[in-house]
Amino acid sequence: MDIGAAPIPGLILPLQDVQIGTPTTGIVAEILVKEGDTVEKGQALVRLSDEVEKLDVERTAKVLEKAKFDHEAAEKLLADKIGTREDALKKRIEYDLATIQQKAAQVRLNERTIRAPIQGIVVKRDKEPGEALLLDETVAQIVHIRQVYAQFYLEPAQAQSLKTGESMSIKVPSLPGSRPITGRLDFIDPRMDAESGLYRIKLLVDNADLHLKAGMRVELDVSSPNPK
């Protein structure tokens, strides 16, 4: 549907833009990525010093081993009608608590390795080995741009005729000779911007070749009907 004549300026945004922090504090022991690296979800990015946590995992494993032995022995004594039910229950509870403590120690150790929460490209690295990391600090920033958003602001008359899911065409002036790119209307903001009186929309655009970069200026082609 033709919603106007002049192209509407817009901006390319990453599909996801994540500032990566940590639920713990410590000294950075190793940085495993650099700016520009492509990373997969779950990939290790940073390792914090973890000597104490490793020792705690070993300690709780030994405590668990003893608790398991005591629990099994108490169960055998109860089965042989030598031990008491109360003693067997006590040893089972001690075994259960030791299991929980060992799992908690492993979680604390795992937290010393900071992993990528998304697939994407590392665009910023905030720490170096030897630096301290606090709870409110970030260690890196990752953006996902294999799909991107093209964001525009439309007049009410232009926005009201649109429906999410329909295809629309955009142009990239900074890529000379490039063909128009088709995107799918993913979001129409139900709120009017109080200052400009415009409505914000976002098109979802495939970007497997990574030609579209976050921050690029684009134009919404509204001179012809939207392709179906």
What confidence tens digit (pLDDT) does each residue in 115-148 have? 999 999 999 999 999 999 998 899 999 999 999 9
Mean pLDDT across the chain, nearest whole number?
A: 92
What pLDDT shows up at residue 177?
78
What pLDDT shows up at residue 26?
95
Looking at residue 69, its amino acid is F
Contact yes or no for 166/184 (Cβ under 8 A): yes
- Half-sphere exposure (CA, 13 Å, Cβ side) for 122? 25
Choose among 162, 205, 166: nearest CA to 182.
205
Residue 67: both structure tokens together = 């608790």
**pLDDT tens digits along 192-221:** 999 999 999 999 999 999 999 999 999 997
What pLDDT shows up at residue 5?
60
- Phi and psi for 44 in degrees, rounded to 5? -70, 130
Computed from CA positions of residues 57, 63, 64, 65, in that sequence, does the dihedral angle turn out positive or negative? Answer: positive
The pLDDT confidence band at residue 227, using thresholds 50, 70 and 90, is: very low
What pLDDT shows up at residue 228?
46
What pLDDT shows up at residue 11?
97
What pLDDT shows up at residue 223?
58
Whether 3 has a pLDDT exceeding 80, the answer reads: no
Whether 154 has a pLDDT exceeding 70, the answer reads: yes
- Identify the residue whose tokens are 């400009």: 196
Whether 224 has a pLDDT exceeding 60, the answer reads: no
Helices 51-79 and 85-110, axial angle in degrees (round to 10): 160
Record the pTM. 0.80
Which of 52-66, 163-177, 210-224 has the weakest average pLDDT?
210-224
- Identify the residue whose tokens are 């509407």: 8
